[in-house]
Amino acid sequence: MSSYNLKEVMNKPERLAPGHRMCAGCGATIGVRAVLRALHEGDQAVIGNATGCLEVSSFMYPYTAWEDSYIHNAFENAGATLGGVETAYKALKKRGRLPEDVNYKFITFGGDGGTYDIGFQSLSGAMERGHDMVYVCYDNGAYMNTGIQRSSATPRFADTTTTPVGKVSDGKLQSRKDLASIIAEHNVPYVAQTTFTRDFKDIHFKSEKAIYTEGACFLNVLAPCPRGWRYDTAEVMKICQLAIDTCYWPMFEVEEGKWRLTYEPKKKLPIEDFLKEQGRFKHLFKPGNEELLVQFQEEVDRRWEDLQYKCNKN
């Protein structure tokens, strides 16, 4: 791994150019730029992208914001597409039909809807076959592009258009799926969960490891959506910090089967601190809903303890 200097990293040429049509402050684009900054100078990438906000807003043929080769992919098979491209690349290299010194990396981006739900089989297959690629999920916890519908990544009690809060509903009934752990159980060489920290070091190193580890690697990036989560756009960094300090979004990596926490809050904050910043959880703070907050906290605690156990076992 290379050394880290925030200024140097931030000054690298952008591989997702400005002028795309994502909302200002969207976590998805912050995440994509952070991941692509980990590519080493001179290396090129083939990017795959499942349908979602990122895809429909960054590539409107014949316009593109992507500096690398880019494949606009269907919602459900981004993993299979990039797996196929990587296989073709290897075959062409073997036959001497590509220059020896050309080095391509294969990176797929998908939203949580396209990754946790509809593209899950395709992702699972690509991971199991061990293609030399990275799948990056930008998790904003709902199908944002089509109007904030719940996905299996949506946290419990969130107000979405398909789990609307009202007299008969407290929001989404189910807890979110733990996709990073599920992919880790595929026995792939590298899986990590991350988000944005003030120095962007965690996401940078995890991206670099994922891109430069041979084999199928997976990154799960918490990518807040100001529109769907209903917070002030400028608060993105605060929201991410609260996500990790409350242990709602633990930062960990699984390298060759070894689980490791990459951040442990000095003081674990109550889950309310993360929830109260977001309009989608506003109802939880109404009198009479105290029990819902207790349930949310219990779930966070249980998952955090489970993760600590996995990490301490190594």
Ligand X SMILES: Cc1ncc(C[n+]2csc(CCOP(=O)(O)OP(=O)(O)O)c2C)c(N)n1
Work out whether 44 is an interface residue with ligand X (CB under 6 A): no
- The residues in 102-131 that bind ligand X, with binding defined as CB under 6 A, are 111-114
The token duo for 203 is 């996401």
Which window, 18-26, 96-104, 178-186, 280-288, contacts ligand SF4 (CB under 6 A)?
18-26
Using the 8-state DSSP alphabet, how is residue 269 labeled?
P
Among 31, 155, 226, 250, binds ligand SF4 (CB under 6 A): 226
* Burial group, residue 63, by CB count within 10 angstroms (0-12, 13-18, 19+): exposed
- The residues in 171-200 that bind ligand X, with binding defined as CB under 6 A, are none
CA 251 to chain centre: 12
Q: Which does 146 bind (CB under 5 to 8 A by kind): ligand SF4, ligand X, Mg ion, none?
A: ligand X
Which window, 3-11, 36-44, 111-119, 229-237, contacts Mg ion (CB under 5 A)?
111-119
Smallest separation, CB 40 to ligand SF4 (Å): 28
Alpha helices in the chain (DSSP H): 6-10, 27-36, 53-58, 78-94, 112, 120-129, 179-184, 201-212, 226-229, 236-245, 272-275, 290-312
Smallest separation, CB 240 to ligand SF4 (Å): 14
Using the 8-state DSSP alphabet, how is residue 305 labeled?
H
**Cβ-based nearer residue to ligand X, 79 or 247:** 79
Question: Within a 13 Å sphere around the CA of 156, how many CA atoms are in the beta-carbon half?
Answer: 16
Smallest separation, CB 144 to ligand X (Å): 3
Among 140, 160, 246, 278, binds Mg ion (CB under 5 A): 140
Among 46, 53, 65, 219, binds ligand SF4 (CB under 6 A): 53
The token duo for 205 is 């190193």
Work out whether 224 is an interface residue with ligand X (CB under 6 A): no
Q: Which does 23 bind (CB under 5 to 8 A by kind): ligand SF4, ligand X, Mg ion, none?
A: ligand SF4
Residue from 60, 145, 71 nearest 108 by CA: 71
